[in-house]
Amino acid sequence: HVVTKKPPTPSPLRNSKFFQSNMRILVTGGAGFIGSHLVDKLMENEKNEVIVADNFFTGSKDNLRKWIGHPRFELIRHDITEPLLVEVDQIYHLACPASPIFYKHNPVKTIKTNVMGTMNMLGLAKRVGARILLTSTSEVYGDPLEHPQTEEYWGNVNPIGVRSCYDEGKRVAETLMFDYHRQHGIEIRIARIFNTYGPRMNIDDGRVVSNFIAQALRGEPLTVQAPGTQTRSFCYVSDMVDGLIRLMEGENTGPINLGNPGEFTMMELAEVVKELIEPSVSIKIVENTPDDPRQRKPNITKAKQLLGWEPKITLRQGLPLMEEDFKQRLGMSKKA
Ligand code: NAD
Ligand code: UDP
Ligand code: UDP
């Protein structure tokens, strides 16, 4: 009985002429809000193969349903606090709950995701020589004493508060990125994302835009947390995805602020949602949560100069684009 050793089967994708210069891209947190829109954009390019690793804590397969079964797409149920072995060229590292309700739900887990999760993704990047992009946050500026915030500002963060698992977690994640870069020569990119909104946000995740839109559609009062004069700057998700891809493909490590400089008080936001979605709803002031930043607005000079990027969609244009998606998921749409 002679055992003939079979030669390894060549991967049809890797070896086809069509895919010769293909790029294999890992998106952690790709089943979430921003991640799934990023996957949609990456999949438009026929040279990209996309692998999503997600534990479905705040994301869902539903966000990726159009890609499940596609030959250039793979979805792995995986918690990034555990090591991950895949062979990739680029890593978009988004995995981390972003809404205060969810990141405060299990704060120790949020820290593990930011610290151990980011270290695992850096270990992976180091082993395979991949370029890695971290989605950090404007929360690294804390309750900022500089306004608008530039990337040079070091921030004003409470290290022991209820938001610290997220803010400080992301700050350590940024530190890890730079230490792996300096010590091991990893190619890194850091985006500091300011509040982003759009279709597929979790309906009841407590973030202000999703709250107000769901409340308006249900005919409930819009809950402005006191005092209502605190500000945020809201970026539409397609603009954000465009910025993330430019940052990954460009030559600058960052950190680079990505956000829409249009700044609104929460009372103004409520008025705009009321006007655009349901003029008959009322606005009520409710209690706020601890350590709520009083103001936030990105200085995006760097993104403009280094990435040629700036947001195109205003708040008034973007809010109505969420309406149909929310109506469908709330079972209110004729299309549902
Ligand atoms: P999201 O909660 O919709 O997505 C996060 C995804 O990560 C989800 O699919 C979730 O299941 C997954 N995840 C969480 N913990 C994980 C773990 N341990 N292992 C594997 N997967 C895990 O949030 P989003 O708004 O899409 O945010 C994406 C990224 O952008 C996050 O890193 C967030 O910190 C950052 N960011 C978002 C905003 C914003 O306004 N949306 C602002 C600043 C920064
Ligand atoms: N790691 C991973 N996938 C890889 C390579 C590494 O998840 O392909 C993890 C590894 O388990 C480790 C972390 O990344 O916990 C950091 O890796 P590094 O090589 O920097 O550190 P070391 O393994 O030497 O502790
Ligand atoms: N907020 C509000 N009503 C809500 C939810 C939030 O007025 O129903 C306020 C909150 O106090 C904060 C702002 O909206 O000042 C943004 O909150 P969000 O949780 O969306 O994001 P983050 O605080 O992380 O920027």
Q: What is the pLDDT of residues 241-281, one digit of tens each?
A: 999 999 999 999 999 999 999 999 999 999 999 999 999 99
What pLDDT shows up at residue 17?
45
Residue 332's H or E segment, with its range, is: none
Q: Is the CB of 243 under 6 A from ligand 1?
A: no
| Closest ligand relative to 133 C-alpha | 1
On whether the CB atoms of residues 84 and 124 are closer than 8 A, the answer is: yes
Give the C-alpha separation, 215 to 274, whole Å.
10
Least confident segment among 1-10, 21-30, 274-283? 1-10
Q: Which of 266, 294, 34, 288 is nearest to 149 (CA)?
A: 294
Q: Which of 266, 286, 315 to mutate to test the pocket of ligand 3 (most atoms within 8 A of CB)?
A: 266
Give the C-alpha separation, 85 to 92, whole Å.
15
Give one word for 195, left, alpha or beta, with left for phi > 0 and alpha for psi -120 to 50. Answer: beta
Give the C-alpha separation, 22 to 33, whole Å.
26
Six-digit token string for 42: 């990456």
What pLDDT shows up at residue 47?
95
Q: Which of 38, 75, 79, 94 to mutate to test the pocket of ligand 1 (most atoms within 8 A of CB)?
A: 94
What pLDDT shows up at residue 35?
98
Six-digit token string for 80: 């990034």
Radius of gyration of the chain (CA): 21
Residue 205: band (very low, low, confident or very high) from pLDDT cuts 50, 70, 90: confident
Q: What is the torsion angle, in degrees rounded to the nearest 10, for the CA atoms of residue 276, residue 139, residue 172 and residue 168?
A: -120
Give the C-alpha separation, 332 to 336, whole Å.
7
Q: Is the CB of 114 under 6 A from ligand 1?
A: no
Six-digit token string for 307: 């990435």
Residue 3 pLDDT greater than 90, yes or no: no
On whether the CB atoms of residues 332 and 183 are closer than 8 A, the answer is: no
ipTM over 0.90: yes
CB-CB neighbours of 288 under 10 Å = 14
Between the CA of 167 and the centroid of ligand 1 the distance, in Å, is: 13
Between the CA of 123 and the centroid of ligand 2 the distance, in Å, is: 4
On whether the CB atoms of residues 132 and 93 are closer than 8 A, the answer is: yes
Residue with CA closest to ligand 2 atom 15: 120
Between the CA of 119 and the centroid of ligand 2 the distance, in Å, is: 7
> Which segments of 185-277 does DSSP mark as H helices, in order?
208-218, 237-249, 266-277
Q: For 154-194, how does the pLDDT look when each residue is reduced to its tens digit (9 = 90+)?
A: 999 999 999 999 999 999 999 999 999 999 999 999 999 99
% the chain with pLDDT above 70: 93
Q: What is residue 165's three-state secondary structure?
A: helix
Q: Which of 241, 289, 284, 256 is nearest to 103 (CA)?
A: 289
Q: For 316-325, how does the pLDDT look when each residue is reduced to its tens digit (9 = 90+)?
A: 999 999 999 9
Give the C-alpha separation, 101 to 200, whole Å.
17
Residue 196 pLDDT greater than 50, yes or no: yes
